[in-house]
Amino acid sequence: MKSVFNPLFGGSKSIVTLTLFLLLVVGFFVIDNSAEASSVNSEATKHSGRHISVIGHGEVTTEPDRATINLSVDATEKTSLAAKNAVDENVNRYIDGLLALGIERDAIVASVIYTQPQYEYQANGPRTLAGYRAIRQLSVNLKDLSMMNDVMDLSLKEQINQINGIELTSSKSDELKRRATLLATANAKQQGEWLANAFGAQLGAIFSIDAVEPTNFEGMVAQPNATMMRMEASKRGNGQYIHEDLVFSSTVKAVFDLKVKD
């Protein structure tokens, strides 16, 4: 069978090739338009209806009723064992004193200890081993803030080298966090109602809620220096520890349906 020559396409094979190409192009546009239409419909479904998004904030303040005192003891001796024993002896006396004050044993944590070599350095010579330093960290949890002064005095008496800081907390932290969240929820609803009314609309039912984890800003007493405290104690006697209130805050993100007034 002879091929029919076509001056435009160069023969029957070219006609078949062009036909297949046109079919592929048409099919591509049909598929592409169908996918685009599906995407548009999906977005329309996702954003169907009228909504209003608001962020509510809530905050609760309270006085602290608990404290955690963080301390550390160190000693330097010729051997690592001697340094450890010196620190342990000091800490044991301190723990006995705390128990005598009426503090429960489970309120005392003194489990961390480590040792490290100490070197002396010369300008034109090798370093030499000067001894070993042992450091032990401990903390005391107080449920009665009125005992803080007695604990601090005992720390000075038993030669506690460093008072690293005092963290103030509340025994009602969980309750106060929930209260802050409730305030944030009420604040979000108030904002939604105000904005809806401002635009001549009405706040509808809740659509979605996203509650951010409540946060609390606990008090921290400035880090005192043990040596300075000994000097001040000898001059003025018992000290006064003044603290700030604790702040518990919460944030709630809410989306409401929006009703348009007729």
CATH class label, 66-169: alpha beta
| Residue ranges per structural domain of the chain | 49-65+171-230+245-262, 66-169
Is residue 223 over pLDDT 50? Answer: no
Q: What is the pLDDT of residue 16?
A: 45
DSSP state of 147: G
- Give, in order, the Cα–Cα distances in Å from 173 to each of 143, 180, 218, 231: 14, 10, 10, 36
Into which CATH architecture does domain 49-65+171-230+245-262 fall?
A: 2-Layer Sandwich (3.30)
Structure confidence by residue, pLDDT tens digits, 121-150: 888 888 899 999 999 999 999 999 999 999
Tokens of 73: 């003891």
Which residue is it, tokens 């006697």? 237
> Environment class of residue 232 by beta-carbon count within 10 Å: exposed (0-12), middle (13-18) or buried (19+)?
middle
pLDDT tens string 167-197: 999 999 999 999 999 999 999 999 999 999 9
Which of 237-243's residues contact partners 24+ apart within 8 Å by CB, and which partners?
238/149, 238/153, 239/149, 239/152, 241/145, 241/148, 241/149, 241/166, 243/63, 243/64, 243/168, 243/219
Helix axes 226-236, 148-157, angle to 10 degrees: 110
Q: The tokens of 122 are what?
A: 């010369």
More confident residue, 238 or 243: 243
H/E element, 225: none
43-76 residue pLDDT tens: 333 445 789 999 999 999 999 999 999 999 999 9
d(CA 225, CA 68): 17
One fold for 49-65+171-230+245-262 and 66-169 = no
